[in-house]
Amino acid sequence: MFPPGQKVLVAAFAMLFATAGCPAASPEPPEKPAQQAPLPARFTDAAARIIEAARKDEASYRRLQELCDRIGHRSAGTPSYDRAAAWSVEQMRAFGMTNPRLEDVPINRWTRGRESLTLLTPGGPRPIPMLGLGRSIGTPADGIQGEVVVVRDFEELERVKDTVKGKIVLYNFPMREQGEGFGGYGEAVAYRSGGAVRAAQHGAIAALVRSVTTRGMRTPHTGMMSYQDGVPRIPAAAIPIEDAMSFQRMQDRGDRVTVRLFMEAKNLPDGPSPNVLAELPGREKPEEIVVIGAHLDSWDVGCGAHDDGAGVTMTIDAVRLLKELGLTPRRTVRVVLFTNEERGIDGGRGYAELHRAEAARHVAAFETDSGGFRPKRIGVGGTDEAVAMVQRYEPLFETLGPVEIRKGGGGADISFLGKDGVPLLGLGTESGHYFDYHHSDADTVDKVDPNDYRESLAAFTLMTWVLAEMDETLPRTPPPTTPPPAPAAGVAK
């Protein structure tokens, strides 16, 4: 479905991340180790103190509110992102982190510009809410006008493929209600990611996709799409689920559905954008690095409160809480706030490339990118031995829900470190409502419940402490075989 080509690979990555973390998709989990010796008091004591402090913490949630209110969205490559990066440095400097700094990496520079979709028939003209998809090309200046062919899935497209030439294909694939994990997303996002290519292969002039969500208030949800070499590039946009359903009914009723799509979207040449880094130096093994991270960028709508603002402030405040509690761990904790995860995971790729020389000193990488919901699990990517080592600390999390520690986890941004053998971990949350807000104007800070957020802050801080303090060193992850296994991640993009 996604033959080689850089952008396509990125989309393939995104797809793989999307399905990982789903119980059904996980490889059989290793047996949990039999009850071992009790954990040393320095873990149990620290755990109790971390959980208590995080649960009563006011500053971190306030910081998330401030990030959203003062800066708004943080689309990589925009002045707003740059303000967020400077703000992050300032935040970390204020409580004495070591060497807060910006580190430029090359990123895709896509700009949305003005855009609109107008229903012409039946009963038009009337405006249809829409969001162009990330990396899509624009339309000619006077738009693209055409008849819409609605299909429910790729299979139906195949059946009607001879009728779509010169027309606009709408994929009306309904996302399944989310249970645990991100399985429903993985299935539905295929239409957003690959729909334009499939439609263009049959001569379509544009692609529309039903927003990847299960609930809507006429809310379009954007996200990345990709092209394929040798297939004409056509513009692609998301419409609300309401309008996809309406277009379907119109077609079923025999009405001719015609629209005009206008998009100024452009892909400019790649340019620099900064990751944000800072450290809490380790007390015994400062040369060993535990990366904790989240992506600082968001889509250019809403303020990315769940995706991934909550992760950003959790990451910053995990270190602040450790400092306030006087818990300096044995190893160095490095905060990395990644740029441009949304349009290509560029920050994660760039970080791994810039830090390849010290890759061997990265002993673990831990990402939070599942929103500011209650913590449910911590996924551990890597060998069964690594999983078992981390599982030994599961009892520390018991009062948090509990939080299950299980095989299979990581995150989009840190996935590139995984290729260098770094064990990857990801925080999983009670994410049943994640996609209500995801990539939409509705992903605002009021959607993050402060108490749920604090529970995840506690879990994230505690696992950070464990990774940086544990006696054992997690075994490296062996290089991927070919074809590579799905990068283990609890994170959907």
- Helical segments of 205-358, H only: 241-253, 310-324, 346-354
Query: What residues have CB less than 8 Å from 211, skipping those under 6 apart?
Result: 219, 220, 221, 238, 239, 240, 241, 244, 440
User: Residue 36, exposed/middle/buried by CB under 10 A (0-12, 13-18, 19+)?
Assistant: exposed
**Are the C-beta atoms of 257 and 298 separated by less than 8 Å?**
no
Least separation in angstroms between CB 243 and its own copies:
8
- Interface with its own copies by CB under 8 A: which residues? 65-66, 68-73, 80, 83, 119, 122-124, 126, 129, 216-219, 241-242, 245-246, 249-250, 253, 255, 302, 436-437, 440-442, 444-446
Report in angstroms how near the CB of residue 118 gets to its own copies at its nearest.
11
Give yes or no: 341 in active site.
Answer: yes
- Catalytic residue (choose from 341, 342, 367, 394): 341
Q: Taking the CB of residue 126, how many other CB atoms lie within 10 A of it?
A: 9
What does each C-alpha distance from 287 to 1, 331, 468, 477 come to in angstroms? Answer: 43, 7, 11, 19
Which CB, 282 or 302, lies closer to its own copies?
Answer: 302
Judged by beta carbon, residue 78 or residue 328, the one nearer its own copies is 78
> Shortest approach of its own copies to residue 217 CB, angstroms?
4
Using DSSP, state whether 97 is helix, strand or coil: coil
What are phi and psi for residue 44, nearest 5 degrees?
A: -65, -40
Outline where 20-76 has alpha helix (H): 41-55, 59-71
Q: Considering the complex, what minimum distance in angstroms separates the CB of residue 25 from its own copies?
A: 29
Rounded Cα–Cα distance for residues 240 and 130 (Å): 7
Nearer to its own copies, 28 or 446 (CB): 446
Of 77 and 423, CB closest to its own copies: 77
Nearer to its own copies, 69 or 472 (CB): 69
**Least distance between its own copies and beta carbon 297 (Å):** 16
Whole-number minimum distance, CB 244 to its own copies, in Å? 10
Three-class SS state of 212: coil
Rg (CA), the chain: 23
Compare residues 343 and 447 and give the one whose CB is closer to its own copies: 447
Question: Counting Cβ atoms within 10 Å, is residue 440 exposed (0-12), middle (13-18) or buried (19+)?
Answer: buried
Residue with tokens 């970390």: 92
Residues marked as catalytic: 341
